[in-house]
């Protein structure tokens, strides 16, 4: 794996872990009432998608278990709908998608350390 891909995978993992830390002990309603929390989480999701978009096709093909198109599409939706973000979908991402993504990225980065 190229070194820059390895770094980007770590960036994705770090951002995903940060989201889980930011959201620990929080509820969906906190995204409505805590603007700083919502912005931090959205920005971190954008970082995950941006890093994923820069990972080479070769590396993406090697790790087909990761939902590359969905990760990148989520980033694109957040960037382009910046004032019309569906916080319900963001919360679902935190609760459902991110724990799985963290596990997958931990496996990938561990095997390529």
Query: Is the residue at 90 inside a domain?
Result: yes
CA distance 18 to 41: 8
Predicted confidence (pLDDT) at residue 111 exceeds the cutoff of 80: no
Residue 20 lies in a domain: yes
pLDDT of 14 above 70: yes
Q: Is the predicted pLDDT of residue 25 greater than 90, yes or no?
A: yes
Which pLDDT score, from 0 to 100, does residue 110 have? 85
Percent of the chain scored above 70 by pLDDT?
98
Distance separating alpha carbons of residues 85 and 60, to the nearest angstrom? 27
Number of folded domains that form the chain: 1
**Burial of 9 by CB count in 10 Å (0-12 exposed, 13-18 middle, 19+ buried)?**
buried
Q: Which domain holds residue 49?
A: 3-108
Mean pLDDT of all residues in 37-58: 97
Please indicate, yes or no, if residue 113 is contained in any of the structural domains. Answer: no
The number of beta carbons lying within 10 Å of the beta carbon of residue 111 is 9
* 95/63 Cα distance (integer angstroms): 22
pLDDT confidence of residue 82: 76
* 103 located within any domain: yes
The pLDDT of residue 113 is above 70: no
- Give the model's pLDDT for residue 18: 98
Banded pLDDT at 38 (limits 50, 70, 90)? very high
CA distance 38 to 16: 14
Are residues 98 and 16 in contact, defined by beta-carbon separation less than 8 angstroms?
yes
Mean pLDDT over each residue of the chain, to the nearest integer: 95
């Amino acid at each position: 794996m190229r070194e820059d891909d390895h770094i980007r995978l770590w960036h994705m993992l770090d951002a995903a872990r940060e989201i889980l830390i930011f959201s620990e002990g929080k509820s969906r309603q906190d995204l409505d009432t805590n603007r700083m929390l919502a912005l931090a989480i959205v920005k971190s999701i954008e970082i995950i998608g941006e890093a994923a978009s820069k990972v080479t096709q070769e590396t993406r093909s090697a790790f087909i278990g990761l939902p590359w198109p969905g990760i990148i599409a989520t980033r694109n939706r957040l960037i382009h709908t910046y004032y019309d973000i569906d916080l319900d979908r963001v919360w679902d991402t935190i609760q459902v998608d991110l724990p799985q993504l963290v596990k997958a990225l931990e496996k990938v980065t561990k095997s390529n350390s």
